[in-house]
Amino acid sequence: MKSILKFSFPIFGCILLPVLLHIYPPKIIAELDKRLYFSSFVLVVLILFFYKNFENSNENIEKRLIELTNKLPDIVYYFIFLIFTLITQNYLLNYETLSWDIPTYLVATYDIAEGNLPYTTQWETKGPLLVYIYYFLSILSGKTYIIFRILNDLILFLISVIVFKLVMVVSKNEKITAFSSSFLFLTIFGMRWYISEFSELYCLVFLSLSSLVLLRTTEIELNKLFIVSFLISLSALINQVAIIFIFPVFIFLYFEKRLNTKVLFYLFIGGAVPQAFFALLYMINNQFDIYFFNYFILPFTYVGGTGVEKNLLYEFTVWLRELFNYQNFLYFSIFSTVCFNLFQIFKYKISRISNLNMFLYVNTLFAFTIYFLGGWGFAHHLFYFVFFFSLLVACINNKKSKVLIYSFVVISGLSVFFQTYETSTYNLRNFESLQENYPLYKLSNEIDSYYDDYENYEIFALEYVLVLYYLEKPNFSYIIHPTNHFQEYITKTLIEYNKIELDNVNNLLQKNPDVILCNPERIHMGKVLQNEYFSCNYEDYAEKYLQLDTKVYREDKNIEYYYDKYKKLNVFLKNKSS
């Protein structure tokens, strides 16, 4: 009984401590999904009740299961991952926009197409390597937006294969454990929050490869350690915060008693080479200031630039609740994985945890920290956490405990697969007609028809920047993302570095660009705000512009997943006589 109580304290603490410490306001507590807490409570009781049975029972059945699954060639598992990825990632393909960020990154590729360095004339907050990757995939897809979206599914598939190989190392070649980890990873990524081409996705390619190289390095192989830090540095050239994952490498090597001056030197050189290359590239082109403020100024202002008070712990419980509503058994998979890992940690203490397991635990902790460092509470800030958490299935020693998790993972994965199968297969079969019927795609064609062939015209997109990508045009402003124009922590820095002017938007509007796309209202942090920074009313532009009738495009619910029926789409075309 004492041992059961010993294991139960950390679990009940995870559930009840936030409430006991009054972290949640009473109003929020009342609004929490009671089903989530009740299910968690019941699951903890069941796990505690059966824990001793899991620990002491005969494992012949589990061993037989491992033997049978190990007979299957790896290619079979990869094929399952590929089909599963294509089905669970494309049920929202009929929606033209899932996130504002993706069109912004696509428009940023214009600089590369013109032979410039990233962010020379079109600026975004992420690292320059992201723009090169986007440009490469855009060219590979023939600059067809919908093919670009489908092509990115292969990136996710590649990561799932690396997860499989990573877990094979940690679990000592248990294919069923490797399959479950990859399946868990892909099932979580089937949630609406993760069906998009966020920068974190590409970071995970390099981070997962760096972890694989490190864990396959049995001795002090300096060339491989060089590769480890080199890959992490490449990841940081996509999204700056990824540099934090160099610290778990140091901790792992310390516990492995392999950390010495020579190792540190090779890690430093490996990490410095990609950064030095890009810094030198910008310096040679007299644009080092762009590199400097993107890496050493904005990441720190971003953390404090939310402009709102957020209870991030509460936001995380919202994520858990959405996960529970998305698929109950998926939530059970995650919760059981947490429970069994905590049982193991409290039973064996830190000193008896293997270095491989410690490496995954530390990475998961750092990944979770990123969510709080960001300060915004966005679900895609949990990308890294989801990746490393899916590896924790391999850390569980008791095979019966694993079988329970295997069952939850397979049930949840199959459920999601069959829920999305019909819609996804329809979307994939009809992908060409989907793009032709995208509202903004049709709008871009209408805008282009107003001008003669080869006639050059400028577009100032304060909304719906995807139109710029369709028309292969840069934005009239240096800033691309609609909200960045009005975020002081960004504009203040860009003004200091002479990249934009004070009251930049109004100054640009006074230059009378040929096309203006705007919205008299804007959505920020879930709130509807009237545009107090500039006018988007046609009366103020009627002298020089005509207004397109965009009602048919705006009322098409496929224009964006988070459809707002009150949101407007104002398009002003400058009279050719003006």
Q: Name the more confident of 561 and 314.
A: 561
Q: Indicate the residue type of 165.
A: K
Q: At 547, phi and psi to the nearest 5?
A: -110, 130
The confidence band for 49, taking pLDDT boundaries of 50, 70 and 90, is low
**Which of 56-65, 169-178, 181-190, 469-478 comes out lowest in average pLDDT?**
56-65
The confidence band for 527, taking pLDDT boundaries of 50, 70 and 90, is low
Q: Name the more confident of 567 and 241.
A: 241
Segment 132-153 shows an average pLDDT of 96
Q: What pLDDT score does 525 carry? A: 58
Q: 308-331 burial string, b = 16+ CB within 10 Å, else e? A: eeeeeebbbbbbebbbbebbbbbb
Q: What pLDDT score does 26 carry? A: 41
Residue 12 pLDDT greater than 50, yes or no: no
Kindly list the distances between the CA atom of residue 99 and the CA atoms of 17, 235, 379, 423, in Å, as whole numbers in the listed order.
Answer: 34, 21, 12, 20
Is residue 145 within 8 Å of residue 190, measured between CB atoms?
no
Q: For 209-233, how does the pLDDT look when each residue is reduced to its tens digit (9 = 90+)?
A: 999 999 987 776 888 999 999 999 9
Residue 183 pLDDT greater than 70, yes or no: yes
**Which of 260-264, 294-298, 341-345 comes out lowest in average pLDDT?**
294-298
Q: Name the more confident of 187 and 402.
A: 187
Sheet strand arrangement including 570-574:
459-461, 515-518, 570-574, 545-547
Residue 177 pLDDT greater than 50, yes or no: yes
Beta pairing class for 545-547 and 527-530: unpaired
Q: Using CA of residue 517, residue 121, residue 300, residue 369, what is the dihedral sign?
A: positive
Q: Name the more confident of 189 and 47.
A: 189
Residue 510's nearest CA partner among 465, 540, 547 is 540
Segment 558-573 shows an average pLDDT of 89
Q: Name the more confident of 480 and 304.
A: 480
Residue 529 pLDDT greater than 90, yes or no: no
The confidence band for 480, taking pLDDT boundaries of 50, 70 and 90, is very high
What does the alpha-carbon distance between residue 559 and residue 508 come to, in Å, rounded to a whole number? 27
Residue 56 pLDDT greater than 60, yes or no: no
Q: For 243-275, how does the pLDDT look when each residue is reduced to its tens digit (9 = 90+)?
A: 999 999 999 999 888 888 999 999 999 999 999
Residue 3 pLDDT greater than 70, yes or no: no
What does the alpha-carbon distance between residue 505 and residue 487 come to, in Å, rounded to a whole number? 12
Residue 191 pLDDT greater than 50, yes or no: yes
Beta bridge pairs of residue 523:
528
Residue 30 pLDDT greater than 70, yes or no: no
**Proportion of the chain above pLDDT 90, given as a percent:** 57
Q: What pLDDT score does 204 carry? A: 96
Angle at CA of residue 527, ends 521 and 530, nearest 5°: 25
What does the alpha-carbon distance between residue 363 and residue 402 come to, in Å, rounded to a whole number? 21
Residue 125 pLDDT greater than 70, yes or no: yes
Q: What pLDDT score does 460 carry? A: 97
DSSP H helix total and E strand total for the chain: 27, 6
Which residue's entry shows tokens 């397979």? 410
**Which of 109-118, 355-364, 508-517, 530-539 comes out lowest in average pLDDT?**
530-539
Segment 462-486 shows an average pLDDT of 94
Q: Name the more confident of 285 and 58.
A: 285
Q: What pLDDT score does 283 carry? A: 95
What does the alpha-carbon distance between residue 366 and residue 375 come to, in Å, rounded to a whole number? 15
What does the alpha-carbon distance between residue 62 and residue 113 come to, in Å, rounded to a whole number? 55
